[in-house]
Amino acid sequence: MSDTGKTVRATVKSDFNDAGTERKFAAGETHELTAGEFENYRAAGLVEATGKADAADTSKPARAKRPRTPRVAKTAS
Amino acid sequence: MGSQTAAGSSLAISAATPATLDAAGYTALTFTDIGQVEKLGSFGASFAKVEFQPLKGAKQKYKGSADYGALQPSIAIDSVDAGQTILQTASDDETQKLYSFRVTYQDGAKRFFQGRSFGSPETADGADSMLMATPTIEICTKVVKVAAT
């Protein structure tokens, strides 16, 4: 993926280092990564998008159905 | 620059594929350096030799199909190196997915290509040696050469 200036907030799944940038990442940390960096690290199973794991838990509960109210027919007055 | 040593050269990998198989396409990608590389080895295209011996005259030789070769770097295993982890993922990948690679020389010249890693055997040699991996990256596209700027 190319870097288009877009960044991704990522959670580190396991400790790793980047030899090119000399950045160190520790498990549990969150980092702002370029889209390209994120795609490479994600492909290797090193990071995941922050909030992705919680997404299922935080989804809105299904809305209760509103009782249907019968329409009142308009009467000419 | 003319001649140069191999010192300072590096190998990098990207899980992404370029939009176009040229310098612009590859330079738009984000690469992750593979750490602890000892040697890159030789790589580049070679052509099959097609020969024909007519009854009269000398043997004729033609260039056949191109083989872009393979890269066989030797790497000291570092389990927390991101580039090595991506390369290991490429080696374990059972699909036909192509990964992008970048070789950078000391003077900044670059070589780009796509390939598949056909495995990464590990070597535990004598006590006074590092644990090494020697992946075989089969090059599947033309090597794009970008001169140093």
Predicted pLDDT of residue A77: 47
- Whether this model's pTM surpasses 0.95: no
* Domain extent for B119: 10-146
Cα Dmax for chain A: 83
The number of distinct structural domains making up chain B is 1
Q: Is A35's CB within 8 Å of B30's CB? A: yes
Residue at B5 is within a domain: no
Task: Test B28 with A35 for CB contact under 8 angstroms.
Answer: no
Chain B residues touching residue A41 (CB < 8 angstroms):
32, 82, 86
Dihedral of alpha carbons B106, A20, B71, B77, sign: positive
Residue B53 in domain: yes
Binding-face residues of B in 82-101 toward A, CB within 8 A: 82-83, 85-86, 88-89
Which of B85, B95, B117 best probes binding to A when mutated, by most A CB atoms within 10 angstroms? B85
- Yes or no, beta carbons of A20 and B89 under 8 Å apart: no
Q: Are A39 and B10 inside 8 Å of each other by CB?
A: no
Rounded Cα–Cα distance for residues B117 and B137 (Å): 4
For chains A and B, CB pairs below 8 A equal 78
Residue B48 within a domain? yes
- The residue of chain A with its CA nearest to that of B26 is A2
Alpha carbon distance A48, A58 (integer Å): 17
Provide the CATH number for the domain around residue B90: 4.10.410
Give the per-residue pLDDT at A55: 45
pLDDT confidence of residue A51: 76
Give me the pLDDT at residue A57, please: 43
**B2, part of any domain:** no
Q: Which two structure tokens, joined as six digits, stand for A26?
A: 């520790």
More confident residue, A69 or B8: B8
Q: Who wins on pLDDT, B45 or A57?
A: B45
- B1 in any annotated domain: no
Verify whether the Cβ–Cβ distance A46 to B82 is below 8 Å: yes
Q: Does A40 touch chain B (CB under 8 A)?
A: yes
Q: Is residue B91 part of a domain?
A: yes
Q: Which of A:4-33 have CB within 8 Å of B?
A: 15-21, 25
pLDDT for the residue numbered B2: 84
Question: Cβ B32–A16 below 8 Å, yes or no?
Answer: no
The stretch A53-69 carries a mean pLDDT of: 52
Cα separation of B100 and B133, whole Å? 19
Q: Kindly list the residues from chain B whose CB atom is less than 8 angstroms away from the CB atom of residue A15.
A: 80
> Is B71 domain-assigned?
yes
pLDDT at A58: 42
The pLDDT averaged over each successive group of 10 residues in chain B (149 residues) is 88 97 96 97 94 98 96 96 97 96 96 96 95 97 94
Question: Do residues B28 and B117 make contact, with C-beta atoms less than 8 angstroms apart?
Answer: no
Secondary structure of B27-72 in HEC code, one letter for each residue? HCECCEECCCEEECCCCCCEEEEEEECCCCCCCEEEEEEEECCEEC
Taking only the tens place, the pLDDT of each residue in A30-53 is 999 999 999 999 999 999 999 765
